[in-house]
Amino acid sequence: MATDGAKKPSEAELKDYEAQADAWFRENTPKDPGFMLPLTFMEVSTDQQFEFLCDWQRKVYEAGYLGTSWPAEYGGGGMHPDYQRISTRMMKKYDGPIILNAIGIGWAGPLLLDIGSEEDKHKYIKGMLNADDIWCQGFSEPEHGSDLGSAQLKAVRDGDEYVLSGSKIWTSLGDRAKYMILLARTSNDGPSKYAGLSFFLIPMKIPGIETRRIKKLTGEYGFVQSFFTDARVPAEGLVGKEGDGWMVAMKTLEYERGAKVNPAGGYYLKELDAMGVVDLARNSQRGGKPLLDDPVMRDKMVEQMMEIQALNLNNQRRRMAPLNQDKPMGLAMMNKLARTEMIRDLTEFSLGFQGTRAGYYVGDENAVDDGYWHRSYLNSFSATIGGGTSEIQRNIVAEHVLGLPKGR
Amino acid sequence: MENLGTIGYSEEQVELMEVATNFCRDKSPMDKVRALLDDDAGFDSAIWQEIADLGWLAIAIPEEYEGVGLSLSEVVPIAEQMGKNLMTTPFADVTLAAQAILMAGSAAQKAQYLPQIAAGTLASLALSEANGDWDLSNISAAANAKPNGSGDDYILSGEKLLVPYAAQADIIIVSILVDGAVRLAIIPRGDIVADDAMRREQIIDETRRTYAVTLDGISIGGDQLLDADKTQAALDHVHLAANLLQSAEMSGGTIAVIDYTLDYLKTRKQFGKVIGEYQALKHPITNAYVDYEKARSHLYSAAHCFNDQGRGEVATRMAKATIDKAYSFAADRAIQFHGGFGFTHDCDAQLYRRAAIWHASQHGDATYHRAKLADLLF
């Protein structure tokens, strides 16, 4: 969602900007805070982590390196998207902490800038960027995980309010968020289950909404189940018209899946240090010899390296139209599936290096890399399941790229 | 991992991709591919002439030898389209033979042969022997100095196998031992005269032709040998270049067999449903496609980095290793997903499966390249 008409910068301007951003992130990227930081916005477990990440996001925003290309009148930097790409790259270069407000900046923000009212843009955008207003997303329900279209949480119009009742689940940051983007059912009478869905922006800290933290397989917290009991929200929170919910939700998923190249994206998840696996293997022993002397492990390691390299190359090739003529959307549509599965596979593989120490977990002084690999492996399922499971992703690629029919 | 490659493309690559896409599709429809299976030569000499006229044999030959002066990177999109349409000709073999001469030929040899090859002279490489080793220096064919000659005349012995299009070749470059060292020698096809010196081999890929060639009794002069000091480098280069072009052909073949299978999955009905609705078929074909795209990224990285010291080798081996797996899987599933028809020779799935086996068998399969990569990376 770039500022319309922001001037394409010259090479020299970009170079200057890069030097400036490079210096800023070199100077300001926090070093080890002394406690474990979340690798993704889905893993914020403690107040300490939350406050640290809010502070970091605010600092990046105030320095001009977040929302750089969003319109200035709403709180953005008003600059060309090329600038944001550079600052994002610099943030990664210095291995900065994640940007916390992923649902705000990655989903709700682009949506508002795309189809939101003038009033909404003024109301919401700046708070997203400076971390004053954390956002969460209420799509999944306990009975409807991958099948979002069947969402049942009810929204009934009552004067200038809607009354919400039902439950949402897997809501990252749900206990800390000020706002939620919500998919709710306003009707059961439409021609299809999708036709009865509507999309809302709602406040979270109101009577009738309660959240319960969910303990994850890692032992940490990060998301909640939320319960709506006749919660009354302002009707102006409706995005589009009643019944447009599915279309609007699909738009936000497009931002999420990166099918549209969103210049603001890319910093909500900490990239796994894949090459760290090689160091891990180098430092591991088997039979008194370096693990990487073992031909079987060497072979498996090469397979992992080829996989990592393929996905890095895919990301570059995605932007090269002549190398994508046959199935132009293929690389974009398969990216989520390929990347999340690669990380699950790689982190699982990394456990096999650690010998007896693979038995340790986060919190023990003998855990390899403080349990980073175990935690990463267990957390990797949040990405192979969340945002559409890998199985659903295969259906999406099969149907939208390969043209296979939908199953009935 | 500073020897991991990047990806990019040249304008020439894109132009050639476009021309080759149309040419190969038009000149190599499936009925033509099928007709050539029973043809003795295995390729259409008129189309071969068109390929020469298009200048495609001259792409990676420098301008000073009447070539186009581009590189193997620009050959990749052509080989890819040929593989996609199962258009099998001596194209890659001739390109590789030219590379051998370019790398290790004397000034006179380059001046004589490269312009000829650029213009359509069919050259082939005879590097394999009965031991089946992918290491091109493990050979036993030899050139022995004639007992009472001037010292620079040799008589050859031994047998080379899997020599592509030897029967149609104008010149064949053979690897032989001279005083225990591997050397390359250029032999005019006319010098291979014995009645039983050449036998057409039965190979897994029926679109292709190879020959066993007996060298016993062939005489060569010292001026037919390539430069001793550059021979190993030339063999290494040919090995990687062969894998690059094979990877390109295999990439084309992989998407072709996926598309072929998709057509079937979209039309065949069983139990009242188009079978492409079943996830038991839908998900594996999607996995095949995902693997294909990943391998194709490796391919265009290899094309882009091919001449970079270190990176080119890593990228090329990664390309061959990944595309071998992708092609084999896609073609294997193509047979299975066609059911009873898949078991027949009439089903095209077997053509691709056989091509994949062929390519894996020449210049190293996925396992071989992964072992090489381990040494390069760790």
pLDDT digits (tens, 9 = 90+) for A109-134: 999 999 899 999 999 999 999 999 99
* Distance from chain centroid for Cα B111: 25
Q: Is the pLDDT of residue B306 over 80?
A: yes
Q: What is the 3-state secondary structure (H, E, C) of chain B?
A: CCCCCCCCCCHHHHHHHHHHHHHHHHHCCHHHHHHHHCCCCCCCHHHHHHHHHCCHHHCCCCHHHCCCCCCHHHHHHHHHHHHHCCCCCCHHHHHHHHHHHHHHCCHHHHHHHHHHHHCCCCEEEECECCCCCCCCCCCCCEEEECCCCCCCEEEEECEEEEEECCCCCCEEEEEEEECCEEEEEEEEHHHCCCCCCEEECCCCCCCCCEEEEECCCCEEEHHHECCHHHHHHHHHHHHHHHHHHHHHHHHHHHHHHHHHHHHHHHHCEECCEEHHHCHHHHHHHHHHHHHHHHHHHHHHHHHHHCCCCCHHHHHHHHHHHHHHHHHHHHHHHHHHHCHHHHCCCCCCHHHHHHHHHHHHHCCCCHHHHHHHHHHHHC
Instruction: Please count the other Cβ atoms lying within 10 Å of the Cβ belonging to residue A284.
Output: 20
CA distance A241 to B252: 47
8 Å CB contact between A278 and A301? yes
Per-residue confidence (pLDDT) for residue A57, from 0 to 100: 97
Q: Is the pLDDT of residue B283 over 60?
A: yes
CA distance B236 to B239: 5
Global confidence as pTM:
0.88
Per-residue confidence (pLDDT) for residue A269, from 0 to 100: 72
Per-residue confidence (pLDDT) for residue A265, from 0 to 100: 44
Say whether A298 and B378 touch across the interface (CB within 8 A): yes
In this prediction, residue B371 has a pLDDT band, given cuts at 50, 70 and 90, of very high
Per-residue confidence (pLDDT) for residue A313, from 0 to 100: 95
Per-residue confidence (pLDDT) for residue A262, from 0 to 100: 39
Low-confidence ranges of chain A (pLDDT < 70): 1-5, 256-266, 271
Interface test with B, best of A278, A300, A302, A341 (most B CBs within 10 A): A302
Share above pLDDT 70 across residues of chain A, in percent, rounded to a whole number: 95
How far A312 CA lies from chain B's nearest CA (Å)? 9
The β-bridge relationship of strands A179-185 and A135-138 is: parallel
Q: Which tens digits make up the pLDDT trace of A367-393?
A: 998 898 999 999 899 889 987 899 999
Q: Which of A317, A402, A405 has the CB atom closest to B285's CB atom?
A: A402
Say whether B293 and A311 touch across the interface (CB within 8 A): no
Per-residue confidence (pLDDT) for residue A266, from 0 to 100: 66
Q: Which of B17, B276, B318 has the CB atom closest to A306's CB atom?
A: B318
Closest CA to A337 of A314, A304, A306: A314
Distances (CA, A) of A135 to A61, A84, A125, A211, B207: 16, 21, 11, 14, 60
**Residue A338 with chain B: CB contacts under 8 Å:** 290, 294
The β-bridge relationship of strands A285-286 and A209-214 is: unpaired
Higher-confidence position of B151 and A205: A205
Distances (CA, A) of B17 to A330, A331, A392, B52, B162: 19, 19, 34, 17, 29
Q: Is the pLDDT of residue B150 over 90?
A: no
Say whether B294 and A275 touch across the interface (CB within 8 A): no
- Say whether A19 sits in a helix, a strand or coil: helix
CA distance A86 to A385: 31
Closest CA to B144 of B135, B136, B153: B153
Closest CA to A154 of A227, A220, A88, A222: A227
Cβ of residue A402 closer than 8 Å to a chain B Cβ: yes
Question: Which residue is associated with the tokens 């032992």?
Answer: A219
Mean pLDDT of B178-198: 92
CA distance A311 to A335: 8
Cβ of residue A292 closer than 8 Å to a chain B Cβ: yes
Per-residue confidence (pLDDT) for residue A38, from 0 to 100: 85
Query: Which tokens is B86 given?
Result: 């199962």
What DSSP character marks residue A94? T
What does R_g of chain A's alpha carbons equal in angstroms?
22
Mean pLDDT of B190-197: 85
Q: Give the number of beta-carbon pairs within 8 Å between A and B.
A: 131
What DSSP character marks residue A357? G
Say whether B14 and A403 touch across the interface (CB within 8 A): no
How far A282 CA lies from chain B's nearest CA (Å)? 9
How far B280 CA lies from chain A's nearest CA (Å)? 11
User: Whats the size of chain A, residue-wise?
Assistant: 408
Q: Which of A281, A322, A394 has the CB atom closest to B282's CB atom?
A: A394
**Residue B262 with chain A: CB contacts under 8 Å:** 402-404
Query: Which tokens is B21 given?
Result: 């896409």
**Residue B319 with chain A: CB contacts under 8 Å:** none
Buried b (16+ CB within 10 A) or exposed e, A239-259: beebbbbbebbebbbbbbbbe
Higher-confidence position of A403 and B152: A403
* Shortest CA distance from A301: residue in chain B: B374
How far A333 CA lies from chain B's nearest CA (Å)? 10
Per-residue confidence (pLDDT) for residue A302, from 0 to 100: 96
How far A97 CA lies from chain B's nearest CA (Å)? 24
Cβ of residue A320 closer than 8 Å to a chain B Cβ: yes
Closest CA to A57 of A139, A110, A8, A130: A130
Per-residue confidence (pLDDT) for residue B122, from 0 to 100: 97
Q: Is the pLDDT of residue B313 over 50?
A: yes
Q: Which domains does chain A have, with CATH numbers?
A: 11-134 (1.10.540.10), 136-256 (2.40.110.10), 276-401 (1.20.140.10)
Cβ of residue A276 closer than 8 Å to a chain B Cβ: no
Instruction: Please count the other Cβ atoms lying within 10 Å of the Cβ belonging to residue B11.
Output: 9
| ipTM score assigned to the predicted complex | 0.93
Say whether A403 and B266 touch across the interface (CB within 8 A): yes
Q: Which domains does chain B have, with CATH numbers?
A: 11-122 (1.10.540.10), 124-227 (2.40.110.10), 232-377 (1.20.140.10)
Instruction: Please count the other Cβ atoms lying within 10 Å of the Cβ belonging to residue B271.
Output: 6
